[in-house]
Amino acid sequence: MKNCFFYILLFLYTANQLHSQNCNCTVSIPSTQLIVDGNNYTIQPGDTVCLLAGNRDYLKLTNFHGDSLNYIVFINCGGTVKVQNNYHLYGISITKSSFFRFTGSGSDTIKYGIKIAETQANMNGLSISDKSTDYEIDHIEVGNAGFAGIMAKTDPVCDLSSNYGYFTQYKTSIHDNYIYNSGGEGMYIGHSFFSGYPTTCNTMPDTLYPHEIKGLRVYDNFIENSHWDGIQVGCATEDCEIFGNTIKNYGTDFVNGQNSGIQISGGTTGSCYNNFILNGSGNGISIFGLGNNLFFNNVILNSGRNYYPSDPSKKVYGIFCDDRTTIPGLPFNFINNTIINPKTDGIRIYSLLSNNNKFYNNIIINPGSFGSYSNNNQSYIYLLTGVNAGLSNNYFDINMKNIKFIDTLQYNFKLTEFSPAKDAGMDVSGFGINFDFDNYPRPYASGFDIGAFEYYPGNAVNEYIDNRNVLILPNPNKGIFNLILKELDSKMKYKIKIINQLGASIYESEFIFKENQFIDISKTAKTGLYFIILQSENYRIIKKLIIQ
């Protein structure tokens, strides 16, 4: 019996070692281990920590530090890592760590290899805190979190160690995650009180100032049914980009001020573009930032139409902007957005401190406040008296049919050949806007188009921008990757093209369907952002590719 028990243990140990070797693991963490402290391991920059597949109640990772050239990688191994509880303080917590990647991309056939299925009321799904910095979070699924799906910040404290001027969160990348049914925000990134957080220190009233975030990227995430905001970003004072996210059915609790698709909270600057925001109870985008904020190529649909629809005093806008943390003299710029059916106004701006704000090339259709102002154009863009702004080449219409979108019932707001928005925009290349929502180059022909989409002759084919049946693994990569095709027509012939940000092709091929396509462009592609276009006779799929 003892020998039998010995061989069982040996088998389990050997299987675990082979499992780890297949995943290139430096260290393997079994599903029974719930707290992992880097101080108890010899982990070097560039090492891989494997989270073995299986079910856990919760997981805490703490005290892991890579370096700027060699991140420590936490990755699922052998299948899905599933976390679920209704009693603990979090689902997954990462604390006191830097220069790491936490990724669910460990299996070629599973897009979200780390899944947080539930946390108790008011508790986060994934929390990254305690002065954690320089990290990447990707391919994580978070459902039914009691509060935020992903929380990424460190709160200010009385000893000032994590406060403004003492700690800065750098180079934070959160991408390709799926978040649904969050009890609070889908994503809560950075602190909400940039101008000061009132609290008590040593029994005395005090005001603490939260840390800055410099170098933030939030992109290609899919968020739906968040009870509060879809994405909230605060204190991102430098080099912030929020792009390519899909946010559906946000603000389901109807909590006023906590129900935006994207909220640009105090202290935030940068760019917000190519986001698809639809069917929420609050503003599509709310802006309380510093200025020098650029919003372009966003599609915002039905913002607030379900928010007390019979009560016009409860106002909701496609985009709203005010002066909560504006640096005097800096502008807010709104260019080439498409805003459809907002409950009240298309864009409303109350910022008197900003200067030289610009509203160019926007399409705004059927604002709910139409007819309630002496000047009907105020329903499309409402400027508080005294706002300094320039408006040019916008398209306003109360009737959706006149703009000639391809298929509004299918949420296809691309332009047909006969759209009045075609070639009717102004040149906005000076803002760095040389691509559209689909990442096709602007302009296509003789002039820039109005709205989020540039007209292309192939627009009539069905197109799926956020198609989760097409995976790029790994992504980011070094130019060598697998293109995984799931649930597509196996009898079709496909063409594949890879283009750079300027629209130049670096790779083209044609093939009959097979599920796994291996692609190597490492000799021709440089570091940067690319786009894969997969084309059949029936549809076109576009995916972002990052080579590093």
Sign (positive or negative) of CA dihedral 384, 386, 387, 392: positive
| Predicted confidence (pLDDT) per residue in 160-215, tens digit | 999 999 999 999 999 999 999 999 999 999 999 999 999 999 999 999 999 999 99
Residue 127, both tokens:
């929390």
- pTM for this structure? 0.84
| Predicted confidence (pLDDT) per residue in 279-324, tens digit | 999 999 999 999 999 999 999 999 999 999 999 999 999 999 999 9
Give the C-alpha separation, 118 to 181, whole Å: 10
Sign (positive or negative) of CA dihedral 82, 88, 91, 95: negative
Residue 520, both tokens:
């190597």
Residue 134 has pLDDT above 50, yes or no: yes
Residue 222, both tokens:
């899919």
Q: Cα(first)–Cα(last) distance of the chain, in Å?
A: 54
Please give the distance of CA 290 from its chain centroid, rounded to a whole number.
Answer: 20
So what's the pLDDT on residue 460? 56
Q: What is the mean pLDDT of residues 102-108?
A: 95
Write the CB contacts of 82 (distance below 8 Å, at least 6 apart in sequence).
Answer: 54, 55, 56, 115, 117
Give the C-alpha separation, 542 to 464, whole Å: 7
Residue 6 has pLDDT above 80, yes or no: no
Give the C-alpha separation, 100 to 9, whole Å: 33
Comparing 247-256, 343-352, 535-544, which segment has the lowest mean pLDDT?
Answer: 535-544
Residue 419 has pLDDT above 60, yes or no: yes
Q: What is the dihedral of CA 131, 132, 134, 135, to 10 degrees?
A: -160
So what's the pLDDT on residue 103? 98
Assign 20 a pLDDT band (cuts: 50, 70, 90): very low
Assign 5 a pLDDT band (cuts: 50, 70, 90): very low
Write the CB contacts of 247 (distance below 8 Å, at least 6 apart in sequence).
Answer: 186, 223, 224, 226, 230, 231, 261, 262, 275, 276, 277, 278, 280
For the chain, the helix, strand and coil percentages under 3-state DSSP, each to the nearest 5:
10, 45, 50
Residue whose C-alpha is closest to residue 316's, from 282, 350, 271: 282
So what's the pLDDT on residue 9? 38
Assign 410 a pLDDT band (cuts: 50, 70, 90): confident
| Predicted confidence (pLDDT) per residue in 495-527, tens digit | 888 888 666 788 988 876 667 788 999 988 888
Q: What is the mean pLDDT of residues 421-446?
A: 94
Beta-bridged to residue 213, according to DSSP, are 169, 236
Amino acid at 332: F
| Predicted confidence (pLDDT) per residue in 240-250, tens digit | 999 999 999 99
CATH classification code of 470-547: 2.60.40.3080
Residue 22 has pLDDT above 80, yes or no: no
Comparing 13-22, 77-86, 461-470, 495-504, which segment has the lowest mean pLDDT?
Answer: 13-22
| Predicted confidence (pLDDT) per residue in 459-485, tens digit | 655 555 446 667 888 888 999 988 887
Give the C-alpha separation, 99 to 93, whole Å: 16
Give the C-alpha separation, 247 to 226, whole Å: 9
